[in-house]
Amino acid sequence: MPRSLRKYMLAATAVTGLALAPLAVSHLNDKEVQQSYRQSWFTLVALNFGPMASTVKGEIPWNDDMMKGWANDLATLTTLNIMRGFGEGSDKGTTRAKPEIWQNKADFESKMNDLKTATAALQEATAGGDRKAIAEAVGAAGEACKACHDEYKSKDYLY
């Protein structure tokens, strides 16, 4: 990659990170700790997965190092215990989470484990450097995300 493009990508990433950091923190609410925890987690997932999907679609220039970094961060995020954010009573308040999560918790946890598996495969694909394999792994991770969105995420945002 040409040096000027690398500088541009690093600068763009830094500016984007600084601009979006308040969004991750904006979910913090000491009255709804579990909701805040899971919303912040999902924001970080989106901020890492979104650029990967945009790269595969050709909307932003391909950068192997950035793809590896996003995949590594996604894999790390999925090692966190996100289920702490779905405890009893956290279905109320400021949330997009549908009640079906608490009614079908085993299925929801299974889908979250599928996401963990998909992000681990994505991390492995980016380490290999094969763009076709990476694109397929991005697609698989996206499908794992969509599986939860379809059943467990409300279209109506409550705040």
Residue 136 has pLDDT above 90, yes or no: yes
CB atoms within 10 A of CB 77: 19
Euclidean distance between CA atoms 61 and 9, whole angstroms: 9
Q: What pLDDT does residue 9 have? A: 59
Q: What pLDDT does residue 1 have? A: 58
SS3 content of the chain, % helix, strand, coil (to 5): 75, 0, 25
Query: pLDDT exceeding 90 applies to what percent of the chain?
Result: 69
Q: What is the pTM of this model?
A: 0.78
The one-letter amino acid code at 33 reads V
Q: Give the domain 3-152 fold.
A: Four Helix Bundle (Hemerythrin (Met), subunit A) (1.20.120)
* Residues near 43 by beta carbon (within 8 Å), at least 6 away in sequence: 23, 24, 27
Per-domain boundaries in the chain: 3-152
pLDDT digits (tens, 9 = 90+) for 24-82: 444 555 678 999 999 999 999 999 999 999 999 999 999 999 999 999 999 999 999 99
